[in-house]
Amino acid sequence: MNEKGKVVLAYSGGLDTSVAVKWIQEAYGLDVVTLTLDLGTHEDLDRIRRRALDVGAVKALVVDAADVFVEYFIWPALRAGAVYERAYPLATALGRPLIAKLLVDTARQEGAHAVAHGCTGKGNDQVRLDVAVKTLAPEMDIIAPAREWKMTRQQEMDYAAQHGIKVDVTRKSPYSTDENLWGRSVECGVLEDPWAEPPEDAFAWTASAADAPDEPEYIEIDFEKGVPVALNGRQMGGAPLIEELNHTAGRHGVGRIDHIEDRVVGIKSRELYEAPAAVVLHAAHAALEGMTMTRPALRFKEVVSLHYADMIYDGLWFSKFHQDLAAYVLSSQQVVKGSVRMKLFKGQGVKVGVRSEYGLYRKALATYDEGDQFDHRAALGFIALHGLPTRTQAQVLKTALPDETLRPRLSPPEIKPK
């Protein structure tokens, strides 16, 4: 029997991946099984399944992966404080390793020797998907039609027309977007001018500060081991909690991010994000860490967060390095338990209160009022020792290194008050 080979294609239902179904059949002579994931944005999976079969897939599979996405990808990133270049909470980047994992699993179940995705050759997503697939399944071939075909946008439309693939005009937009529960990424069009303010039509999840309610809204988030477990006193699962927070914070205009970003492939690009829940949760989580962790632990966590974010962004999710970082993070989060009160108002989400049974704040030590238990005399001895190396070196350098021309002046010239 001479059976046709099979490929599993990550299918969104959009034009690119619909054209890809046909293109793979023609260019590679393979049967195409499509796989569509819902990462928490309530996609119309039935409609997408029908469209996949319409454009010629031999089988169309769908999976609701929202809970897995939260448990295995979003929460680890939140615990780690992973925010790329202090701006981007990594929604798209976190979705890619999960897509790769499900592609590989499905390919094995279906007896396919290859997986396919709709990424172009310019972005980060191709890097993330390819590296993840090859790490999980070195034997798997990868087909990336949009990286391989040499069609312009117009030629792609013509190809679609010739093959009877309907262009869904309702989904047409001047931007290229990607969405999942953790956020929405927006690129292209007028956004490619970094001097131009993003127009309102680029946003879909957040109100502008001007249109946001004139009254602030207070919310309370309870954390255990570094992840939220309740919102306003109600215990909730991760996905519904994030979804509700996206709505609430988005209504107040919280979570708009405008970022000049360094892509893995060396390009700087202008990226717009909407991530109301991610922004609020990272701020609340950091506030709780500030309350429960010591200074050296907080300083080291900043370094870990930086590397964790780069690791996710760079597509190295399934690496030993990640496992090592995650082990430290998990251990650090044992004390990150408590409640944070946030105020949402006109585009800002700020912490206004925090409490924790592991809190290191002691009123008796901090107070300037009655009941002060801090030993003021101990401060004198502390200061003498704390400043000792600096005082010693200043004396030594006065004679040993008097020429200051090669050293930055840390202090202004002597000033004589009149």
CA distance linking residue 30 with residue 18, whole number of Å: 15
Nearer to ligand ARG, 92 or 292 (CB): 92
Nearer to ligand ARG, 175 or 300 (CB): 175
Least Cβ distance, residue 282 to ligand ARG (angstroms)? 16
C-alpha 353 chain-centroid distance: 25
Which residue is catalytic, options 31, 38, 125, 130? 125
Least Cβ distance, residue 257 to ligand ARG (angstroms)? 11
Tally the C-alpha atoms within 13 A of residue 66's C-alpha that lie toward its C-beta. 17
By CB under 6 A, what part of segment 165-194 binds ligand ARG? 176, 178, 185, 187
Residue 274 near ligand ARG by CB under 6 A: no
Which residue is catalytic, options 51, 96, 184, 256? 96
Range 332-351 burial, b when 16+ CB lie within 10 A, else e: bbebbbbbbbbebbbbbbeb
By CB under 6 A, what part of segment 75-114 binds ligand ARG? 92-93
Number of Cβ within a 10 Å radius of residue 365: 11
Give the one residue of 156, 271, 274, 289 binding ligand ARG; rule: CB under 6 A.
271
H/E run at residue 93: helix 91-110
Query: Has 339 been annotated as catalytic?
Result: no
Which residue is catalytic, options 12, 16, 128, 270? 16
Query: Has 158 been annotated as catalytic?
Result: no
DSSP state of 5: P
Least Cβ distance, residue 93 to ligand ARG (angstroms)? 4
C-alpha 116 chain-centroid distance: 23
DSSP sequence for 131-176: HHHHHH-TT-EEE-HHHH----HHHHHHHHHHTTPPP-GGG--SSE
By CB under 6 A, what part of segment 246-265 binds ligand ARG? 261
Residue 125 near ligand ARG by CB under 6 A: yes
Nearer to ligand ARG, 201 or 404 (CB): 201
Nearer to ligand ARG, 267 or 388 (CB): 267
Nearer to ligand ARG, 115 or 241 (CB): 115
Range 176-200 burial, b when 16+ CB lie within 10 A, else e: ebbbbbbbbbbbebebeeeeeebee
Give the one residue of 17, 36, 124, 248 binding ligand ARG; rule: CB under 6 A.
124
Least Cβ distance, residue 162 to ligand ARG (angstroms)? 25
Least Cβ distance, residue 21 to ligand ARG (angstroms)? 18
Nearer to ligand ARG, 171 or 363 (CB): 171
Query: Has 295 been annotated as catalytic?
Result: no
Residues 6+ away with beta carbon under 8 Å from 308: 77, 80, 81, 82, 322, 325, 329
374: left (phi over 0), alpha (psi -120 to 50) or beta: beta
Least Cβ distance, residue 148 to ligand ARG (angstroms)? 17
Query: Has 176 been annotated as catalytic?
Result: yes
The dihedrals phi and psi of 375, each to the nearest 5 degrees, come to -85, 100
Least Cβ distance, residue 262 to ligand ARG (angstroms)? 10
Sign of CA dihedral 70, 72, 74, 78: positive
Size of the site for ligand ARG (CB under 6 A): 10
Nearer to ligand ARG, 34 or 92 (CB): 92
Nearer to ligand ARG, 225 or 263 (CB): 263
Number of Cβ within a 10 Å radius of residue 92: 24
Residue 48 near ligand ARG by CB under 6 A: no
Least Cβ distance, residue 128 to ligand ARG (angstroms)? 8
CA distance linking residue 73 with residue 93, whole number of Å: 10
Long-range contacts of 364-373 (CB under 8 A, 24+ apart): none
What Cα–Cα distance (Å) separates residue 194 from each residue in 1, 188, 233? 57, 11, 42
User: In one letter, which amino acid is 30?
Assistant: L
CA distance linking residue 167 with residue 418, whole number of Å: 79
Active site residues: 16, 96, 125, 176
Q: Which residues bind ligand ARG (CB under 6 A)?
A: 92-93, 124-125, 176, 178, 185, 187, 261, 271
